[in-house]
């Protein structure tokens, strides 16, 4: 269906920002985190066949429920047809999150691309200055975005100081991801059945312990456990740490 048809049939979104089991883990490091989940793949220009097949947006936890899918569709449709209203709602929820975090004496944080890869710094950069006390963070497969983040540059200006990016590894960007890692950037890789302590000579951080990626050091790998059907992936998207199915560029070290 077209975006306007989705809104006519399902109605407008009730809320934009959501909690998740992983985001809630950030509470133990003093971070109150919310995530914006849109329809998987719609705003993901570098999505691969494998990552779409195993995307958490439709294969894991509460997100597989029809009500959750409908909520993502409503948000996506609204963003597509009326960004002004979408951003109005987002600002209202950011104000609420900021107040809630202040009352709890926690750091407010938002992952804007829970199941998307929108260049917020280019399209809606005013949000980062307006909510300078909110920590924004995302995973991205867009290498130019990741490089701009590590360089601290955005065109002729500066990258938003409160927006952190981690480059996601897929079966198609492995060489670029390793080069980015060597340059001091952080990459996120999905492992199964175990997250190793080190991989290809680099420290691996347990990315399942919390979701606040802006607390990570530099030049490390963020290890994420495969969820749901991703555990069966043999395409190279999931880094296999068992001897039977090593990653294309080698097994865990």
| Average pLDDT taken over every residue of the chain | 90
Flag whether 250 is in a domain: no
- Check residues 55 and 14 and name the one with the higher pLDDT: 14
pLDDT at 243 over 90: no
pLDDT at position 66, please? 85
Per-residue pLDDT reduced to its tens digit, 51-99? 666 665 554 555 667 899 999 999 999 999 999 999 999 999 999 999 9
pLDDT value for 248: 43
- 251 falls within a domain: no
Residue 192 has pLDDT above 60, yes or no: yes
Q: Are the CB atoms for 173 and 143 separated by under 8 Å?
A: yes
Q: Indicate whether 197 belongs to any domain.
A: yes
What is the chain's length? 253
Residue 252 inside a domain? The answer is no
- Distance separating alpha carbons of residues 220 and 215, to the nearest angstrom: 12
Long-range contacts of 151-157 (CB under 8 A, 24+ apart): 154/121, 154/122, 154/125
Q: What is the largest CA-CA distance in the chain?
A: 53
How many CA atoms lie less than 13 Å away from 10 in the CB half-sphere?
23
Q: What does pTM read for this prediction? A: 0.90
Contact 167, 141 (CB under 8 A): yes
Residue 247 falls within a domain, yes or no?
Answer: no
pLDDT digits (tens, 9 = 90+) for 106-132: 999 999 999 999 999 999 999 999 999
Which pLDDT does position 55 carry in this prediction? 62
What is the rounded CA–CA span in Å between residue 151 and residue 160?
Answer: 11
pLDDT digits (tens, 9 = 90+) for 198-241: 988 899 999 999 999 999 999 999 999 998 777 777 777 888 88
Whether residue 176 lies inside any domain: the answer is yes
Q: Is residue 29 situated within a structural domain?
A: yes
Residue 245 lies in a domain: no
Task: Tell me what pLDDT residue 251 has.
Answer: 39
d(CA 44, CA 172): 14
pLDDT on residue 62:
56
Average pLDDT over residues 189-204: 92
Q: By C-alpha distance, which of 88, 75, 163 is closest to 119?
A: 163
Token digits for 120?
């917020």
105: containing domain: 3-240
The number of folded domains in the chain is 1
């Amino acid at each position: 269906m077209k975006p306007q048809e989705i809104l006519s049939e399902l109605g407008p979104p009730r809320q934009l920002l959501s909690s998740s089991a992983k985001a809630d883990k950030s509470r133990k490091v003093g971070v109150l985190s919310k995530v914006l989940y849109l329809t998987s793949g719609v705003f993901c220009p570098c999505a691969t066949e494998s990552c779409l097949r195993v995307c958490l947006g439709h294969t894991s936890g509460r997100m597989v429920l029809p009500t959750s899918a409908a909520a993502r569709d409503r948000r996506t449709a609204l963003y597509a047809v009326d960004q002004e209203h979408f951003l109005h709602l987002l600002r209202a929820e950011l104000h609420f999150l900021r107040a809630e975090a202040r009352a709890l004496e926690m750091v407010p944080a938002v992952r804007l691309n829970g199941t998307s890869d929108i260049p917020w710094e280019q399209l809606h950069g005013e949000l980062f200055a307006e909510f300078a006390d909110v920590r924004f963070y995302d995973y991205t497969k867009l290498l130019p975005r990741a490089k701009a983040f590590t360089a601290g540059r955005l065109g002729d200006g500066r990258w938003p100081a409160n927006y952190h990016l981690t480059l996601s590894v897929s079966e198609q960007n492995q060489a670029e991801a390793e080069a980015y890692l060597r340059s001091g950037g952080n990459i996120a890789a999905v492992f199964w059945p175990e997250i190793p302590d080190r991989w290809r000579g680099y420290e691996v951080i347990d990315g399942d312990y919390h979701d606040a990626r802006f607390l990570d050091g530099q030049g490390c790998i963020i290890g994420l456990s495969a969820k749901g059907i991703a555990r069966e992936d043999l395409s190279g998207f999931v880094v296999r740490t068992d001897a039977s199915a090593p990653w294309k560029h080698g097994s865990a070290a």
